[in-house]
Amino acid sequence: PGTRRAQIRQWLPQANLYYADRVRPLPTNIGELQKASAERASRMALAPIATQPPFDTGFWYQSRSASRPTPVTYRYDRTKPCGTATCLIVESDSGEVGVYTSDFALVEVRNSNSWIRFSPSLRMIRWPLRVGDTWSEPVTIERSTGQKIRNTMKADVVAYESISVPAGTFPTFKIVVSLNGIRFRELWYAPETQTFLR
């Protein structure tokens, strides 16, 4: 009992390999685990640090989901006062409007029929971005129906890896976001395109 907490902390980086990549088969022996850990350490040593890009109005990108046959275009439309700061308004050609803080934390998402607000804003990315970073904070999710849910949001930058999309292959930071300990979203941020690629 006296060493259990220290041992768990020591093993967490190795366990994180399998948390970050759910399709990776679990190791069958210590040698496989040590090899996988060494490979991850080598990749992490090569990973750069991503600084916050300029979120300029007029910037646009397209995203396609499995539920839609055609891509949706998102445009950084304008800025507006947002409490004591300035927020960025991102509009899509599907009618969805996102409100983001100046460092790209999500404040609100709305469409013609409903809205969702996050208090404090939902910080799925934090600058500068480094592999191994982690952050956590309580967040209240409020819906236009009147429902309020209190959660604990946690984000982990678990890898720096290349992914392929129709536009090409790009190095990305993989971020795993959980709400109340349940995996909520996986994001791949590409510094080259200044967007999430998946």
Q: What is the pLDDT of residue 45?
A: 67
Contact 147, 137 (CB under 8 A): no
Q: What distance in Å separates the CA atoms of residue 106 and residue 60, rounded to the nearest whole number? A: 17
pLDDT (0 to 100) of residue 173: 93
Q: CB of 24 within 8 A of CB of 16?
A: no
Mean pLDDT, rounded, for 11-39: 75
pLDDT at 29: 81
* Cα(186)–Cα(163) distance, integer angstroms: 13
| pLDDT, greater one: 62 or 17 | 62
Structure tokens at 13: 């980086």
Q: Is the pLDDT of residue 4 over 80?
A: yes
Tell whether the model's pLDDT for residue 123 goes beyond 90: yes
The predicted model gives 153-170 an average pLDDT of 90
Per-residue confidence at 20, pLDDT binned at 50, 70, 90?
low
**DSSP 8-state symbol, 44:** H
pLDDT at 88 over 90: yes
Does the structure show a pLDDT above 80 at 114?
A: yes
pLDDT band (50, 70, 90) for residue 68? confident
Lowest mean pLDDT among 14-23, 55-64, 93-102: 14-23
Tell me which of 148 and 30 has the higher pLDDT: 148
